[in-house]
Amino acid sequence: MSAVQNPPEKMMFQLTLRRRGISDQAVLRTMEEVPRELFVEPGDREDAYRDSALGIACGQTISQPFVVAYMTEQLKLQRNHRVLEIGTGSGYQAAVLSRLSREVLTVERYRTLADAARARLETQGYDNIEVMLGDGFDLVGVTGTFDRIIVTAAMEQIPETLTDLLESDGGILIAPIGPQHGAQTLVRIVRTASGLERKDLVDVRFVPALPGIAREL
């Protein structure tokens, strides 16, 4: 039996999330249900449920489970929400979001990652996720507003192109903000009647968010 099929491995996965403060039962249940081993590189499947980030194609990463759970919990998702994700990666975060919301639009600048994530999500039956090849700083073709926005790569500051897409009635945006090569702070922005309210959450480290669509990959 492989490590990813070992019940104690999954039990420790859940225990680690609870010990680190994740308390939302819907988030915990979703983290247990989404098969993380199918979103990591084949050679990393035995480590899929360790609480650590893992490398994927194009020099990107799949975030550690705690960070995925924490960001998801901070979004306070509801079933009727429309969600925008910047940085598809392997598609794991989008899969988690899709179980807790109405629809997810996830944008990826690397064609290799976008195509692989789209195929992976379709194969697993995630039919409320749209994967789009695009630029997270210049979202051409994206229409309407979103109840929730999540950025899974580090931005030095949040562009107005993103906050402008945030639903006016209590919309929430979560993003890692800070220097590209160093520690960042996970920031939550809430749109209220009086404007945008910012709260710094925890220190994190993400790969940088880059403008444009990648030419080679």
Question: Which residues form the catalytic set?
Answer: 63
Query: Which residues lie below 8 Å from residue 30, measured CB to CB, with a gap of 6+?
Result: 72, 96, 99, 100
d(CA 120, CA 129): 11
165's tokens: 């897409």
3-state secondary structure 66-89: HHHHHHHHHHCCCCCCEEEEECCC
User: What are the angstrom distances between the C-alpha of 13 and each of 8, 104, 123, 162?
Assistant: 8, 25, 25, 33
Helix (H, G, I), strand (E, B) or coil at 143: coil
Q: Is 203 in contact with 183 (CB distance < 8 Å)? A: yes
